[in-house]
Amino acid sequence: MLSIITQNMGSLCSKQRRCNEADAEENAQAAEIERRIEQETKAEKHIQKLLLLGLDSTSTIGAGDSGKSTIFKQIKLLFQSGFDEAELKSYIPVIHANVYQTIKILHDGSKELAQNETDSLKYVISNENKDIGKKLSEIGGRLDHPRLTKELAQEIETLWRDAAVQETYACGNKLQVPDCTPYFMDNLLRLSDSNYIPTKEDVLYARVRTTGVVEIQFSPVGENKKSGEVYRLFDVGGQRNERRKWIHLFEGVTAVIFCAAISEYDQTLFEDENKNRMIETKELFEWVLKQPCFEKTSFMLFLNKFDIFEKKILKAPLNACEWFKDYQPISTGKQEIEHAYEFVKKKFEELYFQSTTPDRVDRVFKIYRTTALDQKLVKKTFKLVDETLRRRNLFEAGLL
């Protein structure tokens, strides 16, 4: 009897020990989870949130975009590991679609100009290329585009070189011709190779509109350097119907990077051909400035697509845009380019201060001249942005 009681007591003690061990293990796991949450919370506090905003088009090819998504891709290339082979290959259908959509815009645009312009004959496609044009326009209008073959690339090149299509391209501001047109048309043979893998440059030129929100985390001085700030950059859809989705991102933003395509002063919106793109950009910038959640947020204005602007400004007058109607050219060449750029810059500066209430005048505001496709310039610009935000943080901490 005594041995049975002793055995039962031993069994109970053994069970109790196991329970205690299980509880201890569970408590240790809970403590580890709490420690990790605390660590992540602390780390999160040191991550600075950047919001990348700007005008986007509802066009599937991205005609009329501010270039902000190209900036986003440059950050991935510059401060992260870039694009692996699988990611590069994922751009093949995008790039091929860009090619088909572009040649459709040019073909259909030539027909439109041939009907509406006084010197209509120069926009009439040659008889030998009309069937090719009709075929490519049909392909360009599909939702699913075929892979670009050598034969199709040859036909696209033939139509691209047609005198009427070249005249149409010269009138690109009247149509929705994307900036990537000459790049892709000059590389048709390579893009149609059966073993084609896009290059980094191809990916930068590829146009696909941003919908919703994409994000990337980076440090401009490298992830392994303790002195480097860590940023989380959000690229959000800039179409009119996407802007309501920004609201939940506004809280706790360190800085807004606003991209304005200064080359689009003589172009209209894809979704509203009566609305000038620069006017729409102006109104969007003004709206963002007045948002209550940006009361203490720094603003970095990227006056983007300067490479296109400097070529265009000597041909197309800046005062084609109603906002710039008081512009007066003073010279030619580089001097005129600089004069025009400074005028646009001043307009945005005036808009900023007009839209900023007295209680917000101490927030940081900087303007940078950018070309999103120029990797060296983007790198230099982001290092300047990083330096500006670091100084602001030191100032707020009372260390400056």
Q: List binding-site positions.
A: 69, 204-210, 235-239, 304-307, 372
| Chain Cα centroid distance, residue 25 | 48
DSSP 235-272: EE--SGGGGGGGGGG-TT-SEEEEEEEGGGTT-B-SS-
Residue 378 backbone zone (phi > 0: left; psi -120 to 50: alpha; other: beta): alpha
Report the distance separating Cα 294 and Cα 315, nearest Å: 38
Q: List binding-site positions for Mg(2+).
A: 69, 210
Maximum C-alpha span of the chain? 117
- Bridge partners (DSSP) of residue 217 are 232
Q: List binding-site positions for GTP.
A: 204-210, 235-239, 304-307, 372
Cβ atoms 57, 63 nearer than 8 A: yes
| Residue at 68: amino acid letter | K
Report the distance separating Cα 231 and Cα 298, nearest Å: 14
Q: Which of 313, 308, 310, 311 is CA-nearest to residue 324? A: 313
196 CB-side CA count, 13 A: 21
- Burial-class residue 295 by CB neighbours within 10 Å (0-12, 13-18, 19+): exposed
